[in-house]
Structure 1
Amino acid sequence: MSTAIPIQPLQGAARVWGTIALSTATFMNVLDTSIANVSLPAIAGDLGVSPNQGTWVITSFAVANAIAVPLTGWLSQRFGQVRLFAASVFLFVIASLMCGLAPNMATLIAFRALQGFVAGPMIPLSQSLLLASYPRALAGLAMAMWAMTTLVAPVMGPLLGGWITDNMSWPWIFYINVPVGIAAVTATWAIYRKRETPTRKLPIDSFGLGLLVVWIGALQVMLDIGKEHDWFASGAVITLAVIAVVGFAVFIAWELTDDHPVVDLRLFARRNFWAGTLATSLAYGLFFGNIVILPLWLQQYMGYTSTDAGAIMAPVGLLAIVLSPLVGKTVTQVDPRKYASFAFVVFAIVLWMRSHFNTQADFMTLMVPTIIQGIAMAFFFIPLMTITMSGLPPERMPAASGLTNFVRITAGAMGTSLFTTLWERRAAFHHVHLSEMINPGSIAAQSTIAGLTSSGLTNEQALAQINRIVDQQSFMLAANDIFYMSAVLFLLLIPFVWLTHPQKSSAGAADAAAGAH
Structure 2
Amino acid sequence: MKNNDLAFGDLKGGRLIFAAFVLALANFMVVLDMTIANVSVPHITGSLAVSSSQGTWVITSYAVAEAICVPLTGWLAGRFGGVRVFVVSLIGFTCFSILCGLSTSLEMLVICRIGQGLFGGPIMPLSQTLLMRIFPPEKQSQAMGMWAMTTVVGPILGPILGGSISDNLSWHWIFFINIPVGIFCAVAAMRLLKPAETAIAKIKIDSIGLFLLIVWIGALQLMLDLGHENDWFNSTFICALAVITVVGLVTFIIWELTERHPVVNIQIFRYRGFTVSVLSLAFAFGAFFASIVLIPQWVQINLGYTATWAGYLTATMGFGSLTMSPIVAKMATKYDQRALACFGLMILAVATLMRSFWVTEADFMALAVPQILQGFAVPFFFIPLSNMALAAVKPSEMASAAGLMNFLRTMAGAIGASIAITMWDDHSKIARSEMVATLHVDEVQNNLVQKGMSPDSALGYISHLVDQESLTLSANHVFLILSMVFVFAGLIIWLCPKPKPGVGGQPTH
TM-score normalised to the size of structure 2? Answer: 0.87
Partner of 1:244: 245
**In the aligned structure 1, how far is the partner of 2:228 from the partner of 2:359?**
26
Q: In 2, distance between residues paired with 1:484 and 1:48?
A: 30
- Whole-Å Cα distance in 2 between the matches of residues 54 and 360 of structure 1? 26
Kept in 2: contact 1:147–1:382 (CA 8 A): no
Cα distance change on mapping 1:386 and 1:11 into 2, 3 Å: farther
Q: 1:170 corresponds to which residue?
A: 171
| TM-aligned CA deviation for residue 78 of structure 1 | 2.4
In structure 1, the partner of 2:85 is 84
CA contact (8 A) 1:140 1:382 kept: no
The letter of the residue matching 1:408 is: R
- Cα shift readout 1:387-428 (whole Å, capped 9, x = no counterpart): 111255666444322221111121111111211222233333
Measured in 1, the distance between the counterparts of 2:95 and 2:69 equals 17
In structure 1, the residue matched to 2:468 is 472
2: CA distance between counterparts of 1:29 and 1:228? 31
Q: Which amino acid aligns with 1:493?
A: A
Give 2:450's aligned residue.
454
Give the Å deviation of 1:339.
2.0
| Structure-2 change in CA distance of 1:24 and 1:286 (3 Å) | same
Name the CA shift for 1:229/1:150 in 2 (closer, same or farther; >3 Å): farther
| Contact 2:219 2:242 (C-alpha < 8 Å) held by counterparts | yes
Q: Kindly state the Cα deviation for residue 336 of structure 1 after the two structures are TM-superposed.
A: 2.2
Q: Which residue of 2 aligns with 1:501?
A: 497
- Indicate the residue corresponding to 2:113 in structure 1: 112
Structure-2 change in CA distance of 1:458 and 1:102 (3 Å): closer
Task: Please say if residues 100 and 175 of structure 2, whose CA atoms lie closer than 8 Å, have aligned partners that are also in contact.
Answer: yes
Counterpart in the other structure of 1:371: 372
Give the AA of the match of 2:318. Answer: G
Deviation per residue, 1:276-295 (Å, 9 max, x gap): 21111110111111222222
CA distance in 1 between partners of 2:434 and 2:109 (Å): 43
Which residue is 2:332 aligned to? 331
What SS does structure 2 have at the residue aligned with 1:33?
Answer: helix
1:232 partner letter: F
TM-aligned CA deviation for residue 246 of structure 1: 0.8
Residues 214-259 of structure 1, C-alpha deviation per residue, up to 9 Å, x if partnerless?
1111111111111222222221111111111111111111111112
Unaligned runs of 5+ residues in structure 2 are: none
**Residues 137 and 507 of structure 1 are in contact (CA less than 8 Å); yes or no, is this contact kept in structure 2?**
no
Matches within 5 A, 1:297-316: 297-316=298-317
**Paired residue for 1:360?**
361
Q: Does the CA-based 8 Å contact 2:325-2:379 persist in structure 1?
A: yes
Which residue of structure 1 lines up, in the alignment, with residue 283 of structure 2?
Answer: 282
Distance change in 2, residues 1:458/1:171 (3 Å): closer
Q: Secondary structure at the match of 2:35?
A: coil
Partner residue in 2 for 1:69: 70
Question: What is the aligned partner in structure 2 of residue 212 from structure 1?
Answer: 213
1:404 alignment counterpart: 405
Preserved CA contact (<8 Å) 1:344 1:490 = yes
Query: How far is the alpha carbon of 1:342 from its aligned partner?
Result: 1.7
Q: CA deviation at 1:64?
A: 2.5
* Partner AA of 1:483 in structure 2: F
Q: In structure 1, what is the Cα distance between the partners aligned to 2:331 and 2:16?
A: 20
- 1:141-179 residue CA offsets vs partner (Å, 9 max, x unmatched): 776655544444334333322322232233322221122
Q: Which moved more, 1:465-474 or 1:222-231?
A: 465-474
Contact 1:286 1:415 in 2 (8 A): yes
Is the contact between residue 140 and residue 331 of structure 1 (CA under 8 Å) also seen in structure 2? Answer: no
Q: CA 1:396/1:81 → structure 2, altered by over 3 Å: closer, same or farther? A: farther
Structural mapping, 1:363-442, within 5 Å: 363-390=364-391, 392=393, 396-439=397-440
Give the percent of matched residue pairs that are identical in Structure 1 and Structure 2: 44
**CA–CA distance in 2 between the matches of 1:361 and 1:109?**
33
1:30-41 counterparts in 2 under 5 A?
Answer: 30-40=31-41
Give the partner amino acid of 1:430. A
Q: CA deviation at 1:429?
A: 3.5
One-letter amino acid matched to 2:481: M
Look up the SS of the partner of 2:480 in the other structure: helix
Change (3 A) 1:49 1:123: same
Computed over aligned residues only, the root mean square deviation of the Cα atoms, in angstroms, reads 3.5
Moved more, 206-215 or 108-117: 108-117
SS in 1 for 2:230: coil
CA gap 1:371/1:20 in 2 versus in 1, 3 angstroms: farther
Q: 1:507 to 1:395 in 2, by over 3 A?
A: closer
Deviation at 1:117, TM superposition (A): 0.8
From 479, 485, 492, give the equivalent of 1:489. Answer: 485
| Contact 1:148–1:324 (8 Å) recurs in 2 | no
Matched residue, 2:195: 194
Offset of 1:298 from its aligned partner? Answer: 0.9
Question: 1:507 Cα deviation (Å)?
Answer: 5.4
Match of 1:122 in 2: 123
In structure 2, the CA distance between the partners of 1:313 and 1:240, relative to structure 1 (3 Å rule), is: same
The range that moved more, 462-471 or 135-144, is: 135-144
Aligned residues: 508
Matched residue type, 1:122: I
Deviations 1:443-468 (A, max 9, x none): xx83x434311122244542332232
Structure 2 distance, partners of 1:65, 1:148, is 21
Q: Is the 8 A contact 1:449 1:462 kept in 2?
A: yes
